Chains A and B, each alone.
Chain A
Amino acid sequence: SAVISQKPSRDICQRGTSLTIQCQVDSQVTMMFWYRQQPGQSLTLIATANQGSEATYESGFVIDKFPISRPNLTFSTLTVSNMSPEDSSIYLCSCWDPEYNEQFFGPGTRLTVL
């Protein structure tokens, strides 16, 4: 199994600022994903973080708003840019281990934008 850590675990930010969330996996993984989960809602996929190339974004999410880095097979960052209160959510990093055919999640980053 894969163990994922995220930081920060939570933050309160001012409107118009940006926050970068870090995701570290304890083993090399092929697929890494970033999700958003708003209170009482299910997970919404923001993008797939591709190692060595640009992330693949889902409909409704753009690189300018959510730039993603994936410099290697164990690490990724998601930046929430020019934040507004509507960005308040939990952001979850995830990886997929094809050997176990299981998706693992980090503990999430709880973001509040004032």
Chain B
Amino acid sequence: RKEVEQDPGPFNVPEGATVAFNCTYSNSASQSFFWYRQDCRKEPKLLMSVYSSGNEDGRFTAQLNRASQYISLLIRDSKLSDSATYLCVVNGGNQFYFGTGTSLTVIP
């Protein structure tokens, strides 16, 4: 079983739509959780960390459900510039585990 599993998509949504990505992880001892964004031919960059209480950054909301071992990312009012691959990342000790990424394309 993979450490981190994501729906690879692709998700094609119109501008202004709300889209949600989910990710599950297998190690209940995992300590830190993140969403990274990777643009085509670029390196991944941190979008936001995910906290147990849930956190919001503008149009982006991340949530963690430890009991069910999943994290989610909600993007509201999608913009064309949101088109990218979104990587779920889980940290256990000194190891970072990456999901396969979910591809999002926002269509005009």
Interface of B: prevailing SS? strand
Note all chain B residues with C-beta closer than 8 A to A45: 95-96, 98
Q: Are B96 and A105 in contact (CB under 8 A)?
A: no
Interface of A is mostly: strand
Contact of B98 with A31 in the complex, beta carbons under 8 Å: no
Count contacts on A: residues with CB < 8 A to the other chain: 17
CB <8 Å contact, A48 and B94: yes
In this assembly, does B66 line the interface, its C-beta being within 8 Å of a C-beta of chain A? no
Select A42's contact among B43, B46, B49, B101, beta carbons within 8 Å.
B101
Interface membership of B45, Cβ < 8 A: yes
Mask of B25-53 contacts with A, CB within 8 angstroms, 1/0: 00000001010000000111110010000
Contact present for B100 and A101 (CB under 8 Å): no
Q: Are A42 and B96 in contact (CB under 8 A)?
A: no
Given contacts A42-B87, A101-B49, contact A33 B96 (CB under 8 A): yes
Taking CB atoms, residues of chain A closer than 8 Å to B101 are 42
In the complex, A102 has a CB within 8 A of chain B: yes
**Given A103-B46, A105-B43: A43 in contact with B94 (beta carbons within 8 A):** no
Residues of A within 8 A of B (CB): 31, 33, 41-43, 45, 48, 92, 96, 101-108
> A48-B94, A106-B43 provided; 5 other pairs, C-beta below 8 A?
A31-B94, A42-B98, A43-B44, A104-B46, A105-B43
Instruction: Name B residues whose Cβ lies closer than 8 Å to a Cβ of A.
Output: 32, 34, 42-46, 49, 87, 89, 91, 94-96, 98-101
